[in-house]
């Protein structure tokens, strides 16, 4: 399947899965633990740039090379999610004096799950197309 199509499909799937987190879980969780660090409004350009870079990386390093191997795609997707989310969270843990370990652990679990799930779903969809 075409790389650009895979990026678009992955963008849609990741966004839909991540919406659960962004709407149902994150607002209360983050306000409770890191509300003092949060901006009043989301920087939409920064958020969009994260999604674009993350999705292109996910397709380039996981989905495209494993598009015919569901289990490998899920495993590598989980590993990619863990590494990318760990980059953010562990850097915050190392450099911010008020960054909670609880948020780091929760984010690492979520990042691993959402990326593995997205990889698996996209590979399944590609197999059906």
Tens of pLDDT, residue by residue over 6-51, are: 999 999 999 999 999 989 998 899 999 999 888 999 899 999 999 9
Strands (E) across 1-129 are located at none
Tens of pLDDT, residue by residue over 52-74, are: 999 999 999 999 999 999 999 99
Structure tokens of 34?
Answer: 């890191």
Contacts of residue 65, defined as CB under 8 A and 6 or more positions apart, other chains included, come to: 76
pTM: 0.93
Rounded Cα distance between 60 and 85, Å, is 17
């Amino acid at each position: 399947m075409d790389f650009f199509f895979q990026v678009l499909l992955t963008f849609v799937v990741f966004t839909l899965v991540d919406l659960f987190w962004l709407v149902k879980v994150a607002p209360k969780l983050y306000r409770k633990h890191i509300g003092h660090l949060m901006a009043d409004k989301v920087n939409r350009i920064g958020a969009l740039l994260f999604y674009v870079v993350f999705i292109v990386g996910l397709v380039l390093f996981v989905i495209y090379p494993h598009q015919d191997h569901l289990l490998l795609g899920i495993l590598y997707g989980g590993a990619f999610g863990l590494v990318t989310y760990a980059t953010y969270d562990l850097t915050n843990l190392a450099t911010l004096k008020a960054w909670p370990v609880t948020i780091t652990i929760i984010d690492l679990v979520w990042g691993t799950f959402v990326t593995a799930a997205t990889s698996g779903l996209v590979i399944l969809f590609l197999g059906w197309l």
